[in-house]
């Protein structure tokens, strides 16, 4: 029924909704600007807009929807809680649902951590869990400093933002910033040391160790190091396994707790259930959110029991007991495990990388194709420009924006990320079928070709 707010009333109603959104919502809105669609129905990888158009969703709730939209097992779990009469709001009280979720989650984690772990349920956003992790290690160590990486993304609240790399976004964080020592994350394509490969990662590790050991290095004694195993928002940059092992050694040797932010990489996304499994490192703290709530808001930290120096109420919050999210999350964790979806992500992701690398051979504007599992990035560059002083071609943010627009026009939702917003990011559900994979690749191929053509035409007419 048009007008009931759910069915959608065609293109006209969608336009009205979008117009009102632009007039009433804040200037800080994000996806809403680049994806002017009004979703009214969704299933799996497909979103249907109020205008009746259908899209393949390679954004999937910014990597949240491991099983896609409205997966039957998540819906069934939610319905059974609703039908059971269980309270939906319980603060941080014990419930059978929470008990079962905690057991299921701990079973998925590296046993060396999980066997002696504590869990803190946080306010239901990744950023609140990051805040909790930073507070935890500061309390446990009595130190204030923090080691974080260039290109990192950890959230939008103050301490999480201070750990984030984006200089513009950090402009509001004030003093929290001063406690963070920024270290170089290995970024092969734009290696800050100009060498790339294992050499670049090795230099990053040496820089880290030598800075920590230099009494005049200017480092505030660190309470912890926070790292993503694959940087997502930073431009889909997988850390080499060996480099992560080096970070683990360096921090362990110096008594610095290692916090791995698996908010985006968790629950099968990178081709292992948790991204730390690739390198085999055991963090002291893991930050988990997004997919663990089975599409509903949920965030926790899991950490070594020895770090639990908190006083009661040290990290409180009203919404730490989302029963629907715990039930949907537990069903999702189980489904991913039972159906080996991490392996599926590895297989499909590898196939997509191969196809996209093949495409790069035909388009000079594709500077780099990289990823791990179903976290894939295509970095677009200005192929006609001179190389920068590190030997890379400059980023092409306008071209990337055009690719996103052309993709949407072809019924494909992708997001951008990376240092200059020039990396096209693919984060499809792990349940993506072979047919959908082909459709995504075909549409993206066409979108890149179209955007490249338009950019060349504009350049040619500008040059006349």
Instruction: Decide: is 374 part of the binding site for ligand PMP (CB under 6 A).
Output: no
Q: Looking at beta carbons only, is 233 or 406 nearer to ligand PMP? A: 233
Tell me how far, at minimum, the Cβ of 130 lies from ligand PMP, in Å.
6
Q: Looking at beta carbons only, is 59 or 392 nearer to ligand PMP? A: 59
Q: How far apart are CA 210 and CA 380, in angstroms?
A: 34
- Window of 46-54, 218-226, 261-269, 308-316 that interacts with ligand PMP by CB under 6 A: 261-269
- Window of 6-14, 22-30, 151-159, 250-258 that interacts with ligand PMP by CB under 6 A: 151-159
Q: Looking at beta carbons only, is 130 or 412 nearer to ligand PMP? A: 130
Tell me how far, at minimum, the Cβ of 416 lies from ligand PMP, in Å.
13
Length of the chain: 464
For every residue of 49-102, DSSP letters joined together read ETTS-EEEESSHHHHT-TT-BT-HHHHHHHHHHHHHT--S--TT---HHHHHHH
Q: Looking at beta carbons only, is 38 or 263 nearer to ligand PMP? A: 263
Instruction: Decide: is 261 part of the binding site for ligand PMP (CB under 6 A).
Output: yes
Tell me how far, at minimum, the Cβ of 76 lies from ligand PMP, in Å.
25
Q: How far apart are CA 260 and CA 130, in angstroms?
A: 10
Tell me how far, at minimum, the Cβ of 94 lies from ligand PMP, in Å.
25
Q: Looking at beta carbons only, is 153 or 187 nearer to ligand PMP? A: 153
Please provide residue 448's backbone torsions phi and psi, each rounded to the nearest 5 degrees. -65, -45
- Window of 38-46, 247-255, 260-268, 355-363 that interacts with ligand PMP by CB under 6 A: 260-268
DSSP 386: P
Instruction: Decide: is 154 part of the binding site for ligand PMP (CB under 6 A).
Output: yes
Q: Looking at beta carbons only, is 56 or 226 nearer to ligand PMP? A: 226
> 156 burial class (0-12, 13-18, 19+ CB within 10 angstroms)?
middle
Tell me how far, at minimum, the Cβ of 282 lies from ligand PMP, in Å.
19
How far is Cα of residue 240 from the mean position of the Cα atoms in its chain? 17
Q: Looking at beta carbons only, is 396 or 426 nearer to ligand PMP? A: 426
Tell me how far, at minimum, the Cβ of 326 lies from ligand PMP, in Å.
16
DSSP 3-state of 379:
strand
Residues 383-422 that bind ligand PMP (CB under 6 A): none
Tell me how far, at minimum, the Cβ of 160 lies from ligand PMP, in Å.
7
Instruction: Decide: is 153 part of the binding site for ligand PMP (CB under 6 A).
Output: yes
On whether the CB atoms of residues 294 and 77 are closer than 8 A, the answer is yes
Give the residue carrying structure tokens 């071609």: 393
Residues 84-143 that bind ligand PMP (CB under 6 A): 125-127, 130
Q: Looking at beta carbons only, is 135 or 357 nearer to ligand PMP? A: 135
Sheet containing strand 412-413, strands side by side: 39-43, 46-49, 54-57, 412-413
Print the binding letters for residues 210-249 with ligand PMP: x by CB under 6 A, - otherwise: ------------------x---xx----------------
On whether the CB atoms of residues 423 and 380 are closer than 8 A, the answer is yes
- Window of 150-158, 212-220, 319-327, 352-360 that interacts with ligand PMP by CB under 6 A: 150-158
Question: Could you give the C-alpha distances from 196 to 107, 203, 228, 391, 392, in angstroms and in order?
Answer: 37, 10, 19, 10, 11
Instruction: Decide: is 327 part of the binding site for ligand PMP (CB under 6 A).
Output: no
Instruction: Decide: is 273 part of the binding site for ligand PMP (CB under 6 A).
Output: no
Q: Looking at beta carbons only, is 263 or 374 nearer to ligand PMP? A: 263
Residues 60-79 that bind ligand PMP (CB under 6 A): 62
List strand residue ranges (DSSP E) for 279-421, in order. 285-288, 300-304, 366-372, 375-380, 412-413, 415-417
Reference 38, options 6, 63, 65; nearest CA is 6
# chain residues binding ligand PMP, by CB under 6 A: 15
Reference 280, options 318, 254, 306, 244; nearest CA is 244
DSSP 3-state of 399:
helix
Tell me how far, at minimum, the Cβ of 2 lies from ligand PMP, in Å.
33
Question: Could you give the C-alpha distances from 280 to 244, 246, 258, in angstroms and in order?
Answer: 9, 12, 14
**Tokens found for residue 464:** 């006349």
Q: How far apart are CA 281 and CA 110, in angstroms?
A: 9
Instruction: Decide: is 289 part of the binding site for ligand PMP (CB under 6 A).
Output: yes
Contacts of 88 (CB under 8 A, 6+ apart): 81, 322, 323, 324
Q: Which residues here bind ligand PMP, judged by CB under 6 A?
A: 62, 125-127, 130, 153-155, 228, 232-233, 261, 263-264, 289
């Amino acid at each position: 029924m048009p007008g009931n707010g759910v069915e959608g009333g065609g293109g006209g109603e969608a336009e009205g909704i979008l117009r009102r959104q632009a007039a009433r919502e804040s200037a800080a809105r994000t996806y809403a600007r680049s994806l002017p669609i009004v979703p009214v129905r969704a299933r799996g990888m497909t979103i249907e807009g109020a205008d009746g158009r259908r899209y393949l969703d390679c954004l999937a709730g910014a990597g949240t929807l491991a099983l896609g939209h409205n997966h039957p097992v998540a819906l069934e779990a939610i319905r059974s809680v609703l039908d059971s009469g269980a309270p939906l709001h319980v603060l941080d009280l014990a419930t059978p649902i929470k008990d079962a979720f905690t057991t299921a989650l701990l079973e998925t984690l590296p046993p060396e951590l999980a066997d002696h772990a504590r869990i803190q349920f946080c306010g239901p956003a990744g950023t609140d869990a990051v805040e909790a992790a930073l507070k935890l290690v500061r309390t446990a160590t009595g130190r204030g400093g923090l080691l974080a990486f260039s290109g990192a993304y950890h959230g939008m609240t103050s301490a999480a933002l201070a750990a984030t790399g984006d200089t513009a976004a950090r402009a509001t964080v004030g003093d929290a910033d001063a406690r963070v020592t920024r270290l170089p994350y290995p970024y092969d394509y734009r290696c800050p040391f100009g060498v790339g490969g294992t050499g670049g990662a090795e230099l990053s590790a040496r820089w880290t160790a030598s800075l920590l050991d230099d009494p005049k290095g200017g480092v505030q004694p660190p309470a912890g190091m926070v790292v993503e195993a694959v940087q997502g928002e930073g431009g889909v940059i997988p850390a080499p396994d060996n480099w992560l092992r080096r970070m683990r050694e360096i921090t362990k040797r110096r008594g610095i707790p290692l916090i791995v932010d698996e908010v985006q990489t968790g629950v099968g996304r990178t081709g292992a259930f948790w991204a730390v499994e690739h390198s085999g490192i055991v963090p002291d703290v893991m930050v988990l959110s997004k997919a663990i709530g089975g599409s509903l808001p949920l965030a926790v930290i899991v950490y070594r029991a020895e770090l639990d120096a908190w006083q009661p109420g040290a990290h409180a919050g009203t919404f730490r007991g989302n029963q629907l999210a715990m039930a949907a999350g537990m069903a999702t964790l189980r489904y991913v495990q039972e159906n080996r979806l991490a392996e599926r992500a590895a297989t499909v992701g590898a196939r997509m990388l191969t196809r996209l690398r093949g495409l790069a051979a035909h388009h000079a504007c594709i500077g780099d194709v990289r990823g791990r599992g179903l976290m894939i990035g295509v970095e677009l560059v200005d192929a006609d420009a001179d190389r920068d002083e590190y030997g890379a071609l400059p980023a092409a943010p306008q071209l990337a924006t055009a690719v996103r627009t052309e993709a949407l026009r072809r019924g494909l939702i992708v997001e951008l990320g990376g240092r200059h917003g020039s990396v096209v990011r693919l984060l499809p559900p792990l349940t993506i079928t072979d047919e959908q994979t082909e459709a995504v690749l075909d549409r993206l191929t066409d979108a890149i070709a179209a955007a490249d053509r338009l950019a060349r035409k504009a350049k040619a007419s500008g040059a006349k």
